[in-house]
Amino acid sequence: MASLQGKNLIVPGDKSITHRAYFFGAFSQGTSRIINPSPALDCLSTIKCLSQLGLDFKFDDGDVILTCQGINSLQRPQETLDAENSGTTLRLLMGLLAGRPFTAAITGDESLQRRPLKRVSEPLRQMGAEFELTDNMHAPVVVHGNSLEGQSFQIEHSSAQVQTAIILAGLQAEGETSCVVPNKVRNHTRNMLKHLDLPMRSSSPLQLGVFGLKSQISPFEMIVPGDISSAAYFIVAASLLSGSDISIDNLGIDPGRTLVLDILSKMGASIEITNTRLLCQEPVATVSVQHKNRLNGITIKSGELATGIDELPVLALAGAFCQGKFIVHNASELRHKESDRLSLLVDNLKSAGVSIKSSGDDFEIEGSLTVPGGSLWKTSGDHRLAMTGLIANLLFEQPVEIDNLDCIAVSYPAFKADLDLIKV
């Protein structure tokens, strides 16, 4: 069995922060620089869509130079905006376009057209925007921008994307717009507002409010930390593979993103967090992981999942090899990703020989010392499942046959190459 050996490992820039830097750039007047942006195809989808609205993007030695003349300079796109596979691009575009005085259409690939949009459109409708949704639920969507009035919302789902779409609309609205989420979510929008010195109101970690901007914001520089969702695969693998010892520098550790660290630590993994600091208002650190002992079972409650729902598939591999049971409650959000990620995850693990049973949106794994593998690993074009399959091939007795590796480029184009570099 392989091990991972890598000191000073660097993962790509955070995808969520990169998206937000580009969208907030639409409110700026002048030229901004985004340093270490994510190379993910999802973020390139955001660039393409915002370019059609009038923003100018240039690439400079890995950085992105963004030029805009302010939110009022945005123009009606000549063609339908294509978010491709990026749910963040689609949902944030809905918030941005809600306050623009023109009509724009947005579409996406077949996978994206299955993802629900009412949780975004409904609050934006209450603010004054109008939407035409396919089956009143899905993309393609037509956005009729309008003058917006600030509102206060308590949303049902712990979704940072929905919160951010509301905030982008709120920056264009009259008065104050506030959004309360039921559980902790990633803080990147809050941190971006702080970094740009924009007025906001936050009475609790679950509430975020903004005021309609009366002027354009100044151009800015944003240094993007490493993406913890990308690092999660290395962190889980190092926790399970004997002899592993890795360190990941400049890793974003926002409290709304640390499920993988929190769960593995509770399971008994040897994880050390050092050199903690703020980088452009984002908490970052060096995260070191060594394999020490077999991990213990754990129960993950539904309220915890918002801090790392994307990392749950690879965390399930930790459950497959734990001592005891790995139990997850109410993972329903996994059904609304690039695929029905929950059903595929359960089927893939069961086919590989993992003792797993599911009921509704819950699942339970009985940990084992070995997993046979040798099965077909279905991804439905989902990058998270494909990367999880590559980690499974370090752990299972026989490798699984992954049906699609190209989809990994959606979030981490160099993942396989980076994994091969530290695998010994």
Dihedral pair phi/psi, residue 324, rounded to 5°: 115, -145
Q: In the sheet that 200-201 helps form, which strands lie side by side, from edge to edge?
A: 152-154, 176-180, 207-211, 200-201
Give, in degrees to the nearest 5, the angle at Cα 52 between 281 and 68. 45
- The residues near 16 (Cβ < 8 Å, ≥ 6 apart) are 88, 160, 186, 188, 227, 229
Question: Cα separation of 107 and 52, whole Å?
Answer: 14
Q: Which of 82, 227, 254, 310 is catalytic?
A: 310
Dihedral angle, C-alpha 134, 91, 378, 322, nearest 10 °: -140
Is 14 part of the annotated catalytic residue set? no
Q: Which residues are part of the catalytic machinery? A: 310
